Structure 1
Amino acid sequence: MSDIPLIAHFFFSLVATVGFGIFFNSPIQALAPAGITGGLGWCIYILLMKFSSSAIFANFVAAMFVSWVSEYLARKMKHPAILFVIPGIIPLVPGLGLYNTMLYLVQGDYNLAISTGADTFFISGAIALGVLVITSLARTLFLINLRKKMPIKIEKE
C-alpha cells in the first residue's frame, strides 16, 4: 500500500465509488461529486494509517469526512445524503478482513479467525459510528435552525 502514490489511490477509489454509484442507480449529476468524496475519504484513510497505524481510528475519521461532505453536497445539490454516503464509504469497507476471517474459519485456524474477525468488526463499527455521528449532528443542527425560523405562538386564555 505504501508503494502506490497517493494520486493513484485517489483515482482508483474514485473509480470504485463511481462504479458503485452506477450500480446503486445514482443520478448522473451525483456521480462525480460522490466519486471525489470517496476518493478523498480513502486518501484521508491512507494518510492516517501512515501516521497513526490504527485502522479503527483511520476508518472512523475517514467515514466522518465522507459523511460530512455528503451532508454538505446533499444540501447544495438538493439530493438525499445517502446518494453520496453509501458509494463514498465503499472504499473503506474491510472486504479483505471479511474474506480472511472466512478463510481462516474454513482452514480451521480459529484463533486467527477470531482475531481477524474482531478487527474487521471494530473497523466496520468505526465506519458506522463515523457516519452516525455526523448524520445525527447534521440532523440536530437542521432541527435547531428550523425552530429558530419558526415564530413561537403563545395562546392567551
Structure 2
Amino acid sequence: MGDRMKEFLLAFLGSFAGAVLFNIERYNLLWAGLCGGIAWTTYEILIHSSGRAVYATFISAIFVGLFSEFMARRAKTPAYIFSIPGMYPLVPGIMAFDTIYLLVFGKMEDGINKGIETAATAGAIAFGIMLSSTGYQLIERILYEIFKNKAKK
C-alpha cells in the first residue's frame, strides 16, 4: 500500500475516532472520517508541491469547510459535525511542541519563529473553514433567490 494511502487511512481513523468521542451519530461517522482523510491528503499534496505549511493548511481547511457544508445539507445535520473531526489532522500539535521545546532549550529566535508559524497555521484553519462555510452559504442563498424568482415567472 502506498504512503499516501496509509496516511489517508490514518487521518481517516483519527477523524473517525474523534467523531466517536464526540458521540456523533453512527451514520455520520464515515463522513466525518472521510473529511479528515480528504483534509490530510490535500495538505500532503500541497505541502510537497509548495513547501509552505500555512498555505497548505489554509487550502485544506477550505476543503474541510466545503465538504462539511455539503454533507450537512445531505445529512440534515450541522456542519460542525463534520468540520471539527475533519480538521483534527491539520491541527499543528507537533509545531506547538517544537515551539515550546526550542524556547525551553534557549533557542529563542527559532522558538519565536516556530511559534509565529504555529499561530499562523492555527489561524489558517479557522479562517479557511470560516471563509468556505460563509462562501458556500452565500452562493446557496444567491442560487435560491435566482431559482425562486424564475419559479415566480
TM-score, with normalisation over the residues of structure 2? 0.89
| CA–CA distance in structure 1, aligned partners of residues 73 and 125 of structure 2 | 22
Q: Does 1:85 align with 2:80?
A: no
1:120 corresponds in structure 2 to 118
Deviates more, 1:104-113 or 1:48-57: 104-113
Matched to 2:11, the amino acid is S
2:53 corresponds in structure 1 to 55
TM-score, with normalisation over the residues of structure 1? 0.87
The gaps in structure 2 that reach 5 residues or longer are: none
Give a deviation string over 1:85-133, Cα, whole Å, max 9, x none: 0000110010001111112222222111101101111111111111011
1:6 corresponds in structure 2 to 4
2:70 corresponds in structure 1 to 72
| CA–CA distance in structure 1, aligned partners of residues 41 and 139 of structure 2 | 28
Matched to 1:107, the amino acid is F
| CA–CA distance in structure 1, aligned partners of residues 45 and 83 of structure 2 | 20
SS at match of 1:21: helix
2:134 corresponds in structure 1 to 136
Query: In structure 2, which of residues 6, 14, 38 is the aligned counterpart of residue 16 of structure 1?
Result: 14
Identity of aligned residues (%): 33
Aligned length: 148
| Structure with max Cα Rg | 1
The gaps in structure 1 that reach 5 residues or longer are: 151-157
CA shift for structure 1 position 80? 0.5
Deviates more, 1:36-45 or 1:141-150: 141-150
2:23 corresponds in structure 1 to 25
- RMSD (Å) for aligned C-alpha atoms: 1.7
Deviates more, 1:96-105 or 1:141-150: 141-150
| CA–CA distance in structure 2, aligned partners of residues 143 and 50 of structure 1 | 36
